[in-house]
Structure 1
C-alpha cells in the first residue's frame, strides 16, 4: 500500500504540490498504538511545498488520496502526521491473497543447511506429564519456523528408556568387568 500511495502522490504531484516530487520525499512510519490508523505519512516534508500549516497540508493530502485510492477508508491529521485507515475490503483482499497462497511467509529453500530438531523424548517407563507436552509443542514450533525460513528439517526423538539404573550398570561394567587377553573389557 505504501508503494501505491507513493505512486499516486508522485503521479499527481503537479496538481497537489504545484511541483514534481521524488519518492524519497514521501516517508511513512508505523502508526502509534494510541491513535487510530494502519499507516502514518509524515506531512512535514510537504509543508514548505504547499505553503500552509501541517494540518492544512495533511487535510489536502488526505482528501486527495481518499479520492484516488479506494482502499483508504479515512485519514486523520494529528500534529503533522497523517494517519491512514485502510478499508475493510483492503484487509479482506489481503487475507484472501494470503489464504490462497499456500507458501505465504515461507522462504525459498536455497543453500541453507539441513537441520535436525530432536524433541519430546519421554522416558518410556514413566507417564507423560505437562512438561512433555511443552517440549513437544516447542520442538514442533521450532521445526516449523526453521522450515518456513528455508531449511530442510528432520524431526526426530530419542526413545529414552535409560534410567539411572542403566547408567550405574554401565559404569560398574566399565570399572569392574574382567579384561580379556587383548586388554579389553569382556561383554557379559
Structure 2
C-alpha cells in the first residue's frame, strides 16, 4: 500500500515470486470511469473508490476460498479503505511503502505508460493515513533497495519461513 510511485507493483511482484503466491494489480480492477477521471488529473473521491475496493475484496475472498494466497497492490490510503479489504478475512496483511514525497515526485516524473499523472501525488499524500499500530502489517521505507525492502517485509510480516519453503521454480 501507499501512494502512486512508491514501488507497489515492483515490490509486490518480487514478494509474490519469493512466496510462490499469485499476484494481482489493483489498478486493473478500477472501472473505466475511475481511470478516465485520474487520467484527466482529477483525484478520486471515496464514492469512486468504494466499488473498486469491494471488487478487490471479493477477488481476495475468492482466492482464499480456493485455498490460494496472493500478493495484491493497492494504494489503500485510508484506514476505512483497508477496513473494506480486511473484510476478505483475517489473513489480510498490509505492507506500507513509505517515502519522502520529493523522491516519489521524481520517480513519477520519469514514469511512462501509467494513467496516474504526477499532479495527483499531492492529493494522495494528503489522503494517506499511515498504517496504524493496531493494523496487521508493517511499514518499510523505499529508500532501501528492492531486495532489502522485500527482505524487511518478509521478516516483519512473519513470512520469511514461507518464502524459504516456496518452490525453487517460483523464486526464479
The answer to whether TM tops 0.5 is no
Structure with the bigger RCO (C-alpha within 8 Å, sep 6+) is: 2
* TM-score normalised by structure 2 residue count: 0.24
Q: Which has the higher helix share?
A: 2
* TM-score normalised by structure 1 residue count: 0.23
